[in-house]
Amino acid sequence: MIDVLNLCKTYQLGNVEVSALKNATFSFARGDFVAIMGPSGSGKSTLMNLLGCLDLPTSGTYRLEGHDIQDLKPDQLAVVRNKRIGFVFQNFNLLPRASALENIELPLLYGRVPDASRKAMSALDRVGLAERARHNPAELSGGERQRVAIARAIVNQPSLILADEPTGNLDSKTGEEIMNIFTQLNRDGVMVLLVTHEKEIAQYARHILLMRDGRIIKNAVIAEMTS
Ligand code: ADP
Ligand code: MG
């Protein structure tokens, strides 16, 4: 479902070129569950931004479900991103003055998606948070906030979820609960791709990419997919 060939990303910082991703080549199968690991500055977020169609590569090719992403125009890129990809962040990125339900609903309303309210409620139900729909983020625990963020990420039924350190701000027990939700989504057929520093978190994945200095230094499929 994902095929990456010689993908490179160079940032221009004044007169200095920063080579953040160097010749990445790999494939992820449909329904894969991947953990991207590596020290700070090794290029993990750069790779996630490219895979999430938030940015275009300097060179190389990225094929996502048959689309040659590097050839798309910005508006086409936005369509792929909105339809196929859900994002989850370390800091949840919720609107503080909106309820859990509204946090999920609002992007749908902006996108003129029909039936926003029902879809938002169904996504909240899927992460086990239907009874908290009317609560604001301040009234929710960290784990509950992250569940709202996951509900927001899955409401458009993406085929791919990208999560950058999704458990980085949570205690280990809550982190486990969040990983169980990702595991369930993955069982339901969604590809999950997460960046993590923690070995315990990476153990939920079936496929590990290890990065260093902009290069993928290890690409290991730990377990074959069972279905
Ligand atoms: P990680 O997520 O693994 O910590 P990043 O992908 O954020 O690594 O960064 C990889 C390298 O690219 C680092 O040297 C970083 O300083 C550089 N970098 C990242 N984003 C930019 C940018 N927008 N402009 C210039 N340099 C950047
Ligand atoms: Mg990063």
CB 92 within 8 A of CB 103: no
Mutate to test the pocket of ligand 1, among 8, 11, 89 (most ligand atoms within 8 A of CB): 11
For the chain (227 residues), the mean pLDDT of every run of 10, in chain order, is: 97 95 97 96 96 95 95 92 92 95 92 92 96 97 97 95 95 95 96 94 96 98 71
Centre of ligand 2 from the C-alpha of residue 65, in Å: 25
Centre of ligand 2 from the C-alpha of residue 47, in Å: 9
Among residues 3, 68, 38, 9, the alpha carbon closest in space to that of 216 is found at: 38
Residue whose token pair is 């982190």: 175
Task: Quote the tokens at residue 17.
Answer: 């070129």
> Does residue 18 have its Cβ closer than 6 Å to ligand 1?
yes
Greatest CA separation for the chain:
54
- Distance, CA of 171 to CA of 156 (rounded, Å): 29
For residue 183, the model assigns a pLDDT of 97
For residue 111, the model assigns a pLDDT of 81
> Does residue 44 have its Cβ closer than 6 Å to ligand 1?
yes
- Distance, CA of 181 to CA of 162 (rounded, Å): 14
Assess if residue 64 is contained within a domain: no
For residue 80, the model assigns a pLDDT of 93
Assess if residue 121 is contained within a domain: yes
> Does residue 46 have its Cβ closer than 6 Å to ligand 1?
yes
Pairing state of beta strands 67-68 and 59-64?
antiparallel
Assess if residue 150 is contained within a domain: yes
Which residue segment(s) compose the domain that 112 sits in? 93-157
Number of domains comprising the chain: 1
Assess if residue 178 is contained within a domain: no
Task: Quote the tokens at residue 9.
Answer: 């990303």
Centre of ligand 2 from the C-alpha of residue 55, in Å: 14
Contacts of 128 (CB under 8 A, 6+ apart): 147, 181
pTM for the model = 0.93
Q: For the chain, first and last CA: distance in Å?
A: 17
Task: Quote the tokens at residue 147.
Answer: 């569940």
Assess if residue 60 is contained within a domain: no
For residue 63, the model assigns a pLDDT of 97
